[in-house]
Amino acid sequence: MFVRKILDFYLDPEYFINLRRLALPIIAQQFMFAALNMTGVIFVGQKGDAAVAAVGLANQLAFLLNLVHFGIMSGAAMFTAQFWGRRDIPNLRRVLGLCLGMAVSAGLIFLALSQFLPAQILGIYSNDPLVITLGTNYIRIFSWTFIFVAITLSYAFVMRSTGEVKIPTIVSIGALILSTFLSYLLIFGKFGLPEMGIEGVAVSMLIARAIECIVLLSIIYTQKSPVAASLKELTDIHPDFFKKVFHSMYPVIINELLWSLGVTTYNAIYGNMGTTAIATINIIGTIEQLVFVLFNGISHATSVLVGNRIGAGREHEAYLYAGRTLGIGIVGGIIMGLILTMVKAPILSLFKVSPEVIESASRTLIVVSLALWVRANNTIIVIAILRAGGDTRFSLFLDGIIIWIIGVPMTYLGAFVFHFPVYLVYLCTMSEEVAKWCFGMYRYFSRKWIKNLAVQVEGL
């Protein structure tokens, strides 16, 4: 009887057709990003543990900015997905303009920090002078990508809300391939180019991101995309419209800021455990990124489907779509965890780092595998349910507050009070995920997360 109910719940061809149409390009893009990022870490690993740690720590500032951007853009996407469900192009373009203005402003702030205070910022995460010196040189070059990324991601996120995922995916994959190829040439000084070490990675990223931005904007405006807004349309934001939209957006931005600060606090804890610990976590992060490609893809795809249906007034269908994706996340997380456990040895053999780092990473990956299904479900709950449904305040509690009242204290205790090894400290960190899952599932079943934001700003 129970099995029959489950089968009936998933007998909806339209759900799978729509999910596949949106998810596959996103998965392809994120897979390429994760695979090429891991390739970059393997390249950098040839320069030693300190180089791996330096790039990992220097990227913490970029990580913070990416999550601020993600908060801005996913907050905007709540509206643009629902506006597209109602085919309200003028308001969709107004939200794009608001998103661009906020994202570029954040990029400029982080660019200034990277240029004037890089050593002080890196000193929060490590007390190794070599790591700080290498990271400072890297971030001063890499930080110029922040402006290009702000523009590219703003347009790409809004395009995704309209169901157009292929163009930004193809452009992004091309940029990533170019960046990886240039990184190889500049790290090792191939074909007569200078041997720049990890600074070569920063230069290659800057070149690739600039080209990516130019190419994407050229395609959007040449093809007259729904997001091809004029300057007048982008800036046509009345005070009442701004107030209504920002009222729902700001909890998402604060959510991402608090969560990202929590994650960087985790990394500061690991960094102060020693260079071996932070090198371990950097390697684990690149592998996790690859593993989470599937779940990020279906989460973002489901968020579009859920948002479109809420905007069109089909709220029960939005609830069913979200529930089906939660089930996929549980089963998929368990399967991916088993696969990761089986292939961790050959994956880790690719990283030319010390045996201590490899052993530490191997044990930590066991914890990653066990917690994968919970983390996959939490990604779906936050992105595809709470934010797509406009329930930004509960999302703030779930994703931005719990990390500080459970995750960070538990990680600190594990590292500096109980003096656990890295893999057990990482297990302490996962306590946050268990709490999030319990609260998040309760919220899903309550249906209180379904809010029609498009109706709230109609006519403004």
Stretch 355-382: mean pLDDT:
91
pLDDT digits (tens, 9 = 90+) for 253-286: 788 778 878 887 888 888 788 878 878 887 888 7
Task: Supply the pLDDT for residue 93.
Answer: 86
Residue 3's CB: how many other CB atoms inside 10 A? 7
What value, to the nearest 5°, has the Cα angle with vertex 163 and ends 75 and 207?
Answer: 75
- Half-sphere exposure (Cβ direction) of 401: Cα atoms closer than 13 Å: 10
**Percent of all residues in the chain with a pLDDT value above 90, rounded to a whole number:** 22
Lowest mean pLDDT among 211-215, 221-225, 352-356: 352-356
pLDDT digits (tens, 9 = 90+) for 126-181: 667 777 777 788 888 888 988 998 999 889 888 887 777 788 888 888 888 888 88
pLDDT digits (tens, 9 = 90+) for 375-384: 999 999 988 8
Burial class of residue 219 in the structure, from the number of CB atoms within 10 Å of its CB (0-12 exposed, 13-18 middle, 19+ buried): middle
Tell me the pLDDT band of 210, cut-offs 50, 70 and 90: very high
Residue 9's CB: how many other CB atoms inside 10 A? 12
Task: Supply the pLDDT for residue 109.
Answer: 92
Question: Is 36's pLDDT higher than 70?
Answer: no
Residue-averaged pLDDT of the chain: 82
Stretch 81-98: mean pLDDT:
80
Tell me the pLDDT band of 47, cut-offs 50, 70 and 90: low
Nearest CA among 243, 198, 86, 217 for reference residue 150:
217
Task: Supply the pLDDT for residue 455.
Answer: 61
Determine the angle formed by the axes of helices 275-291 and 13-45, rounding to 10 degrees. Answer: 150
Asked if residue 220 lies in contact with residue 152, where contact means CB atoms within 8 angstroms, the answer is no
Residues whose CB is less than 8 angstroms from the CB of residue 226 and which lie 6 or more positions away in sequence, other chains included = 84, 89, 92, 159, 162, 164
Task: Supply the pLDDT for residue 429.
Answer: 93
Question: Is 46's pLDDT higher than 90?
Answer: no
Spatial distance between the Cα atoms of 452 and 78, rounded to a whole number of angstroms: 10
Task: Supply the pLDDT for residue 204.
Answer: 84
Spatial distance between the Cα atoms of 70 and 396, rounded to a whole number of angstroms: 14
SS3 letters for 38-87? HHHHHHHHCCCHHHHHHHHHHHHHHHHHHHHHHHHHHHHHHHHHHHHHCC
SS3 letters for 211-263? HHHHHHHHHHHHCCCCCCCCHHHHHCCCHHHHHHHHHHHHHHHHHHHHHHHHH
Higher per-residue pLDDT: 35 or 159: 159
Tell me the pLDDT band of 189, cut-offs 50, 70 and 90: confident
Lowest mean pLDDT among 187-196, 211-220, 286-295: 187-196
Task: Supply the pLDDT for residue 52.
Answer: 66
Q: Where are the alpha helices (H) located in 162-197, listed in sequence order?
A: 166-188
pLDDT digits (tens, 9 = 90+) for 300-309: 889 888 888 8
Task: Supply the pLDDT for residue 50.
Answer: 66
Task: Supply the pLDDT for residue 3.
Answer: 60
Spatial distance between the Cα atoms of 46 and 39, rounded to a whole number of angstroms: 11
Asked if residue 244 lies in contact with residue 460, where contact means CB atoms within 8 angstroms, the answer is yes
Question: Is 458's pLDDT higher than 60?
Answer: no
Higher per-residue pLDDT: 68 or 107: 107
Nearest CA among 293, 288, 379, 458 for reference residue 74:
379
Question: Which of 36-50, 74-88, 97-111, 242-256 has the highest average model confidence (pLDDT)?
Answer: 97-111
Task: Supply the pLDDT for residue 170.
Answer: 86
Residues whose CB is less than 8 angstroms from the CB of residue 278 and which lie 6 or more positions away in sequence, other chains included = 53, 56, 57, 125, 126, 267, 270, 271
| DSSP letters spanning 317-360 | HHHHHHHHHHHHHHHHHHHHHHHHHHHHHHHHTTS---HHHHHH
**Helices and strands in the chain, H and E counts:** 21, 0
pLDDT digits (tens, 9 = 90+) for 392-426: 789 889 888 999 999 999 999 999 999 999 999 99
Task: Supply the pLDDT for residue 167.
Answer: 86
Task: Supply the pLDDT for residue 223.
Answer: 87
Question: Is 249's pLDDT higher than 90?
Answer: no
Residues whose CB is less than 8 angstroms from the CB of residue 237 and which lie 6 or more positions away in sequence, other chains included = 94, 97, 98
